[in-house]
Chain A
């Protein structure tokens, strides 16, 4: 099993692109080239995933609502998203007078950049002998949590810099929501770390994902808390409080139009799939090989898609929870549950059961 970065390096050498023959600086150039290609690969994959998720969402939602869904542009409406993107690019990019222009411009990119960076950290498992782990440092779990925690900050900046009362309320909600799910999420993920402490670096996602059996069976409480936190992290119904269309018009992004709005829009769907990947890596064995050698990547995708459909179904079927109820839920139910889960994991390890 070779790492994907090594694999890219081999391919470059095979193609005759080799700067390392020019001495030490050439080696640096080569390394940077490899990283660049890997990052581009992730960017492309992430964008493609988002497009696929949006298409699936539209068709699936239409199906549940007894509509047809996109069916005019291209075969089966596959090109509808491209048509929408073209429309969005053609729109005027309005920056309101009251807005802080620099932060207003900057905010969507914060959300999207850290979304793509989070995609970079996920270990995608084994695909026909290639280990699709792009970043393999010791603390990738912390890195992923940190990256995904920055996205709501982008929302807060967007809301506060718009100079609109609705978006300000949306930003306040985003901040409040962020606090109330983030802590239970981290603590319930800590349960897994404790549980796998006997198996090498348990803060490394690739190492967590190597354990082939779903940890959700051992830690049902932690899994539950983590699942809820993931739904909250995506900020879609029932927890789409920062956006809440029927209350705050469009919440933090109410003043955005054109390309910048498009980036927020893509960000939502990107985070849906990211959450599905995240939960399958941490709690369901991620991209570990199962039955066939080299099939880990495919298993990961299957798990992630199952979760994605669950998330989308929640999105389509449920009403929105109220802000204060969600805060209560986060602090009074999820947090104690995640602590219980932590104690449970310590007990499992300490008693030698695991």
Chain B
């Protein structure tokens, strides 16, 4: 039979491209010959805009990078500025930050789990995961007053102290979430079609993962135990107990498993952080008095944090003025997405969709 290769353009408006991913796909029947991601449809110029803003004002751009895990984005930038300007942060704020960031990781993975179901044609789990996420979002609303762009983690501490009602809400969530997660997991794991669609699909070898500088759950699912929280601990990650789930399967199912395990570990960390929040200031008293706008920095810093998608790096060059000279963001989803072609080559269209959804790209962050 004669081979006819057709060019198909997936996206940027397509139900399962997680935003505005565009894929130029060469198809031979249903089989993928080549797939090249084309990005930039959500480019908002966060890096360049930051150069004209005061240090605390840049935070709003960070909030809007990865709109699924905003706290993580804020944390990366805030740590960098604190390192640059040598700002001390009270203990209470550090523990609160850790708890909030881990809760945010759970929320982010829940969004991923639901949308992955949608990509496979399962409509129902989406509602279950969003129901659970809603509880986390309500907690964040208690803390910061916002549901999406929190702007909560601030330079020098956190924006507001924990309200009293938060305690009950958190404990309720802590007790209930494992049960709910198990329920949701059952929908996926006890489904033969799901297993067939995920196992052995989208293979990413450890060598490839490393050479494409892939990080986060995708890397760990390829069998490499690399977690910045363990390797280069920030906040108080060296003082809490948690495990880094890995898998040697390197396929979609492994990535699914790793993320599920990560949610459980995140809950563990959040609980430990919650228990250890000390009394005291939640914001640096010096800066509370003089305001954040007077922050100056000279030199270069790079802060790396483990966002739900991988290593989120913020590189800041300060020239001694009130504004950063250069802000560079290392976006994990961008690097993860670059491996699309080697992962989906030779697969069917349906598998390509599933594979990309296990990479969990968020385009606010990819395009910056």
Measuring CB to CB, which residues of chain A are less than 8 angstroms from any residue of chain B? 61, 64-67, 165-166, 169, 172, 237-238, 240, 244-249, 316-325
Contact = CB atoms under 8 A, between A and B. Distances in A.
Contact of A246 (B120, B131, B196, B348): B120
Interface in B112-168: 117-124, 127-128, 131
Given A66-B127, A322-B350, 4 more contacts: A66-B128, A245-B121, A249-B15, A322-B348
Interface string B325-353: 00000000000000000000000111101
Contacts of A316: 123-124
A324 B353 CA distance: 15
A249 B14 contact: yes
Contacts of B191: 318-319
Contacts of A246: 15-16, 118-121, 353
Contacts of B187: 317
Given A65-B124, A319-B117, A320-B120, A247 B349 contact: yes
Given A169-B30, A246-B16, A321-B193, A237 B349 contact: no
B349 A248 contact: yes
24 contacts: A66-B128, A66-B131, A172-B29, A237-B122, A245-B15, A245-B16, A246-B16, A316-B123, A316-B124, A317-B124, A318-B121, A318-B122, A318-B193, A319-B122, A319-B191, A319-B197, A320-B120, A320-B350, A322-B197, A323-B30, A323-B348, A323-B350, A324-B30, A324-B348
Nearest to B17: A246
Assign chain B's interface to a size class: 20 to 34
Contacts of A61: 123
Contacts of A325: 196
A64 B131 CA distance: 13
B35 to A, nearest CB: 13
Contacts of B131: 66
Contact of B121 (A165, A238, A323): A238
A322 B122 contact: no
Nearest to B118: A246
B49 interface: no
A322 B131 CA distance: 29
B5 interface: no
A321 B16 contact: no
Interface string B190-211: 0101101100000000000000
A17 B158 CA distance: 86
Nearest to A246: B16
Given A246-B121, A246-B353, A319-B117, A238 B193 contact: yes
A247 B16 contact: yes
Nearest to A316: B124
B8 interface: yes
A240 B194 CA distance: 15
Contacts of B351: 322
A166 B8 contact: yes
Contacts of A248: 349
Closest 8 CB pairs of A and B: A320-B121, A319-B120, A246-B16, A65-B127, A319-B122, A319-B121, A246-B119, A322-B350
A7 to B, nearest CB: 44
Contacts of B350: 244, 247, 320, 322-323
Nearest to B201: A322
B6 interface: yes
A322 B199 CA distance: 13
Nearest to B9: A165
Contacts of A324: 30, 348
